[in-house]
Each structure stands twice: as C-alpha cells, then as structure tokens.
Amino acid sequence: MAALTHTPSGWTIGGKGPLAVMAGLNVLEDEGLALEVGTELKRICVSLGLPYVFKASFDKANRSSITSYRGPGLETGLKILSSVKAKLGVPVVTDLHEPAQAEPVAAVADIIQLPAFLVRQTDLVIATARAAAREKALIQAKKAQFMAPWDAKNILTKIAEVAPETGVIMCERGVSFGYNNLVVDMLAIPEMKKLGCPVTIDATHAVQLPGADPRTAGASTGGRRDGVAIIAKSAIAAGADGVFLEFHTDPDKALCDGPSCLALSGAEALLSTLKSIHSAANG
C-alpha cells in the first residue's frame, strides 16, 4: 500500500513512512489550552520525526446527558482550529455531524472525520466526500462500534463513488461488547488494510466505558485511562499506520471524557515508545 499524502501540507500516512500522529484535545475548551497542547505535541513529533496533525472537536453531539459539555460550536470552534493551524503551522483534523457542516469544516480541516455512530449515514458521507474533494482534504472514517472490519469496504465505496480521488483513512476504535464495554480486535487492523487504505487506532475512545462513569451515576462515559497505551502499542504492532490520541494538561479536569484522556506530561515517553514499535513492526 502506497503512502497517502495530504498534498497542501505534505502530511503523510502509511506505506513505508513513519508513524503518523493525530493528537490533541477531545473537545475544544478555549484557544489558550488548544495552543498549549498543540505546541507541546508539535515539539515532540518534530523531535521524533513523526508527521503531526492537531485534533479536537468543536462539538460533541452524542453526549450521554443534555447537560454535558459539548464544545464551543461550529463557528467559534472553526475559528479556534484556524488559529491553531495558522499559529502552529500544522494541519488539523476535526469531526462533523450534519451534511450542512461539510463545506465550512472542509474549508478549515485538512482531515475531516466521519464519527463512528454516523459513518453509515449516506447523506453525511456524500456531503463530506464532495466537500473534501473541493478542498483537497482527506477523510478519516471511524469504523462503527457495530461494524465488522471487512464491512468498512462499503464506506470506502460510497466515498469513491462521489469523490474517487479523495484519500480515505480508516480508524479502529473498538466494538461494543456486552454492556458498557468496548473491545478492540487487533485482527481488524490488517483486515481493513486489505481494503487498500491506511488504518489508525483511536486508542483513547477504545478504552471508553459508555454510560458507566461512576462520578455521574452513568450520565457520562467512563474510561480506563491506563489502557490507552496498551491498546496503542498493540495496534501499532498489529500494523496500524497512525495513532489517534487525546491529551490534557489536567485530565481529571477535562470538560469531556476525562477518564479516557492522557496527561500531556506523558506524551513524549508514549510517542517515543510507539515510534519504536512502529519501526520494529515495519522493519
């Protein structure tokens, strides 16, 4: 499989290239925090020689509770992402939830993410594919929690029918298993790579415990923070081309999904280890 390149920025993933990194915040809280986290992650990735993309959501549209923090919204969120992109000189990735958001998101994001819960929504996929093609953006499609890895071909087919030149990355984030649990099948990664696209691992969301945060009596998602590194290392050993991670300066005070979030202070050690595993797996 040849490497996939975002032409405007030169960011690459797959092939014989280095481990690609998508990392940042779960959801935007304010511009200052986004710049602080992005600056440190860029520094680390530059020092390790890893292609870096800043990630953050402008809206978390599928919260467990209507009172949960969702983010600054489309307009303000895209302004923050534009500022991070310009000030740090890095590409950005963010997700969208409605077809009408595709064009404004594509005008800012270098990689547009289709959320796992929505990846089969044809109108959203078509709108995203068309907008990505116009702006020369890439698409990252998260495999749904209810989908077998080989069924991801249908997502790729939909996009190719609308925008055949648009590059697509598939993302593994676990499969629903019983109640309040997700399980990552590492065999899913080589299965999706057989479809001819790069594959990333969303190690942060893979450790979620949906609807099982004891702090809110199930009104928010719990998580197993200690498992993030385990899943990331395992997935890269299994052939993942990139890693998708969420950090915070104080994870326990993060406004969304704190139990799954990693401390920014540990980013350098983790990414250094992941680089070594990727190099060994692709030796």
Q: Domain range holding 51? A: 4-281
Query: What's the Cα-to-Cα distance from 38 to each of 4, 55, 155, 212, 245, rounded to whole Å?
Result: 23, 9, 30, 29, 12
pLDDT tens for 39-97 read 999 999 999 999 999 999 998 777 566 767 788 999 999 999 999 999 999 999 999 99
CATH number at residue 139: 3.20.20.70
Catalytic member of 26, 42, 55, 142 = 26
Query: What's the Cα-to-Cα distance from 89 to each of 75, 82, 84, 121, 268, rounded to whole Å?
Result: 21, 10, 8, 33, 20
Write down the pLDDT at residue 205: 84
What average pLDDT does this structure show over 160-181?
Answer: 91
Catalytic member of 60, 143, 158, 233 = 60
| Beta bridge mates, 199 | 170
Write down the pLDDT at residue 220: 46
- Plot region of 220 (φ>0 → left; ψ -120 to 50 → alpha; else → beta): beta
pTM here is: 0.92
Catalytic member of 59, 110, 241, 257 = 257
Number of domains within the chain: 1
C-beta of residue 100 within 8 angstroms of C-beta of residue 106: no
Q: Is 60 a catalytic residue?
A: yes
Q: Is 252 a catalytic residue?
A: no
pLDDT at 179 over 90: no
- For the chain, what is the mean pLDDT? 91
pLDDT tens for 213-239 read 455 444 445 568 889 999 999 999 999
